[in-house]
Amino acid sequence: MRRLIHVLCCMAALVCSGTSLSYAGSLGESIRGNIVTADKQPAVAVSVLLKEANRVALSDDNGNFIFNKVKAGDYTLEISLIGHAAVTRKVTVHENQATVVAITLEKTSQQLSEFIVTSGATRFAKKKSDQVARMQLSNLENAQVYTVLPKELLQEQLVTDFRGALQTAPGVTNVTQGVGSGGIGLSIRMRGFSGTNAGGAIRNGMATNWMSMSDPVNLESIEVIKGPSGTLFGGVMISYGGLVNRVTKKPFDEYRGEVGYTTGSFGFNRLTADVNTPLNKEKTVLMRLNAALEKSGSFLDYGRSSTMAFAPAFTFKLNDRLTVDLDVEMFRTKRNTTYIGRIADTVKARSFDQLSFDFQRSYTSNNLQSEANILNAFAKATYKISDTWTSTTSYSYANTENNANYLFLLVNSDTTMQRQLMNIPSSFGVNQLQQNFNGDFKIGGMRNRLLVGLDYTQVTSNDRRTVIPVFDVVKINQDAADISIEKYQQQLADKKRTPYNRNYQTYSAYAADVLNLTPSLMVMLSGRIDHYNSKFDKFSQTAFSPKAGIVYQVLRDKVSLFTNYASGFSNPTPKLIYAEDEKEKTNLKPEISRQFEGGVKVELLSGKLSGTVSYYDIEVQNMTREDREHPNYYLQDATQRSSGIETDLIANPFRGMHMIFGYGYNNSRYTKADSTVQGLRAPSAPQHVANWWISYKLQHGIAKGLGFGFGGNYQSESFFINNRVKSKEKGGYNTEAVTFMAPSFVRLDATIFYDQPRYRIGVKVNNLANREYWTTDAWATREPTRQLVVNMSYKF
């Protein structure tokens, strides 16, 4: 802890002195340089070593770097590129003079992103994205808060599933395997709101299925975009608290690859491959293939899973103006799907810890599994119309075929649970066609970055579901009889199935403009109009979503103040609203969200430190929720307000050191609803969440490449149930809410690795303290206990 405090103090001192590191402000003996790529673009985040002084500098967003206070003499500059000999340059420093050098790399700006060595560190802090704003905006120019988690971080943490990848994201809580409509996806909570549709349903900025799993083998990065984002992403696949965008790996023009094998506790075995190659001599046709095969047992007494991922990607450079990208993602999985929920009013326990639950007892069978076959396809044509205008045409297709066999454990008392089984064969489909025009031009000397777009999205699903409400009753802390698959199938054959179909179509138009009133002051205005049509419900409606933002850079390219107003929406389908004289489905109003947010962003030390502090206030009106007094009916009477503070800090204070910190405080309550929830805190919305990761890799000496990492997550307690019930004696509502808690937890992970140019060996312990903890959304899920994971990778 004393060393950690020392490092943090050093980092704070570097921050305070950050403004003295600018390219233009150095005095006395120094070495100042500029690095550009072969296509004359600034080479960003290039590591430059001053060998004789053993000092490292990093090029900034303009390609500039500087070494201050250098004694007179002869020196060697070394620029490192993965898989290539270092670029060296001899320089001489004279007394009381600044030595200026210009360096041109052989790589283009696109190639450089694949080859720059920065110890995996500087790229952790670079919030570079073309999809967050759908235009070329840097983090400091964007009035919205977002975090980018690169593949280098996921590799260092030995991430083997998408759920584990999201645990590093600041502000993301309760990452669970979601369940709904016969599909299995990822459910998350962001800023107090459920993100069942936001845990990976956006891929390369386009929609996929909201109930489909994926594998991290194909991830280039994860973009976590905070707050309502309906103006750019619509209202179909996102949450009011934000969304998660999966950015997949793209081909590049070098032959390179990596194969890996990972093994560990619970019978875990995983093979991965990442191979990239040009397909012609001109290097205008490129291919990249990522694949994974995984089999695992469970930390529970029964349970197993198997997955297969296959993801080829192609790039066709048809000419200097037109580039076409194609990729396909195929994923198959079989796994147990067990969930815990419906705590009866007769239960005296007030939290999961008080139930005396046998944490490692599954109450299931290895053969009771859900299957999913998933296909995602993506195509994009980028055409450079002129020096100021670009056209991007994108198409996304997704199809998921599921055969879900859910086991629900419903708590009847403090000692018993009812096993409920559900079978839902289902099919999901998404088609999305999007056309964007991007312009970057000046009017009256003021820079405009303009986006104009059209979008068509179709979401379809069909299933035939049936449920066995009471398969049997089991003891909470005793072995349960095996679930007989023969008995289960026999009971299913006698059940009537209920069909359920969806066919949503959304036609959208949107525009956004970022105007530089001055070089430091930017204003953003945008809006989107959606016409929504539900074919089977014979229901349609139109909604408008505006967004505005202001950014002022107090220190150019270093510190910016920002504020934004954003509005989002969701189109709930017609549902049964209880009334004495009407039991038919009723058309519902659009759920409307609005957010006010403000804060500060910093990017200092030539990109080595990136941080955001923000305050937000989100209110959602016309929220739809279940009518607890009338099962299978709904209410649309609620307004939920969620406000809080979020911070994130990504720092690389010196070469080889990585630090990621995130903290969030959230207050989420129903400010308008009936007496059952009025004024109460929303379920599954913890007040305090935090995450951190600190690692260091040795840069010199005989142990060069040896590294250590340590991190974890904290989540305060949250409500699983929080509502009032009618008093049997008085006929009114109790003044105190009936609650059931999900306890707080701290999860710790640690790793040690040895990274060399041709191979990598890593060992990691997940859940180091062997903590038994729960995550919750609509259902509760037990999370894995301590697990040892060992990885070996070969690079070529």
Please report the pLDDT score of residue 730 as a whole number.
54
pLDDT at 663 over 60: yes
CATH 2.130.10.30 is right for the domain spanning 256-795? no
Decide which of 214 and 197 is more confident: 214
pLDDT at 12 over 80: no
Rounded Cα gap, residues 694 and 126, in angstroms: 17
Give the tens place of pLDDT for each residue, 668-709.
Answer: 999 988 788 888 899 999 999 999 999 999 988 899 999 999
User: Band of the pLDDT at 480, cuts 50, 70, 90?
Assistant: confident
For residue 161, the 8-state DSSP code is: S
Task: Give the CA angle between residues 728, 733, 735 to the nearest 5°.
Answer: 120
Residue 346, Ramachandran bin (φ over 0: left; ψ between -120 and 50: alpha; else beta)? alpha
Average pLDDT, the chain: 86
Cα 530 to chain center, whole Å? Answer: 25
Please report the pLDDT score of residue 117 as a whole number.
41
pLDDT at 14 over 60: no
Pairing type for strands 172-180 and 183-190 reads antiparallel
pLDDT at 585 over 80: no
Q: Do domains 2-110 and 256-795 have the same CATH topology?
A: no
User: Are the beta carbons of 352 and 359 closer than 8 angstroms?
Assistant: no
pLDDT at 18 over 50: no
pLDDT at 5 over 50: no
Tokens 């239960």 correspond to: 347
- Structural domain boundaries in the chain: 2-110, 122-248, 256-795
Give the tens place of pLDDT for each residue, 701-756.
Answer: 899 999 999 999 999 999 998 887 766 555 555 566 788 999 999 999 999 999 99
SS3 content of the chain, % helix, strand, coil (to 5): 10, 55, 35
pLDDT at 500 over 90: no
CATH superfamily of the 122-248 domain = TonB-dependent receptor, plug domain (2.170.130.10)
User: Are the beta carbons of 745 and 652 closer than 8 angstroms?
Assistant: no
Give the tens place of pLDDT for each residue, 564-583.
Answer: 998 877 777 667 776 655 55
Residue range 322-331: average pLDDT?
96
User: Band of the pLDDT at 243, cuts 50, 70, 90?
Assistant: confident
| Across 29-43, 56-70, 72-86, least confident range | 72-86
pLDDT at 130 over 90: no
Please report the pLDDT score of residue 3 as a whole number.
40
User: Band of the pLDDT at 10, cuts 50, 70, 90?
Assistant: very low
Residue range 409-426: average pLDDT?
93
Nearest Cα to Cα of residue 714 among 678, 684, 673, 747: 747
Strand partners, 459: 430, 504
Is the CA virtual torsion 17, 19, 20, 21 positive or negative? Answer: positive
User: Band of the pLDDT at 391, cuts 50, 70, 90?
Assistant: very high
Residue range 356-374: average pLDDT?
90
Predicted structure pTM score: 0.83
User: Band of the pLDDT at 638, cuts 50, 70, 90?
Assistant: confident
First CA to last CA across the chain, in angstroms? 39
Residue range 368-377: average pLDDT?
93
Tokens 């194609």 correspond to: 326
User: Are the beta carbons of 792 and 755 closer than 8 angstroms?
Assistant: no
User: Band of the pLDDT at 121, cuts 50, 70, 90?
Assistant: very low
User: Band of the pLDDT at 408, cuts 50, 70, 90?
Assistant: very high
Burial of residue 84 (number of CB atoms within 10 Å: 0-12, 13-18, 19+) = middle
Please report the pLDDT score of residue 177 as a whole number.
78
Please report the pLDDT score of residue 13 as a whole number.
38
Write the single-letter amino acid at 178.
G
Using DSSP's 3-state secondary structure scheme, residue 114 falls into helix
Cα 597 to chain center, whole Å? Answer: 20
Tokens 């980028």 correspond to: 382
Q: What are 480's two structure tokens?
A: 């349960």
CATH number of the domain at 2-110, out of 3.40.50.720, 3.40.630.30, 3.90.79.10, 2.60.40.1120? 2.60.40.1120
User: Band of the pLDDT at 539, cuts 50, 70, 90?
Assistant: confident
Which residues contact residue 282 at a Cβ distance below 8 angstroms, ignoring those fewer than 6 apart? none
Task: Give the CA angle between residues 585, 777, 205 to the nearest 5°.
Answer: 80
Rounded Cα gap, residues 793 and 183, in angstroms: 33
Give the tens place of pLDDT for each residue, 152-161.
Answer: 889 999 999 9
pLDDT at 411 over 60: yes
User: Are the beta carbons of 624 and 637 closer than 8 angstroms?
Assistant: no
Q: What are 412's two structure tokens?
A: 């009847």
Q: Cα dist. 293→161, 217, 263, 741 in Å? A: 12, 10, 12, 37
Tokens 């041709």 correspond to: 758
pLDDT at 84 over 50: no
Please report the pLDDT score of residue 796 as a whole number.
93
Please report the pLDDT score of residue 628 as a whole number.
67
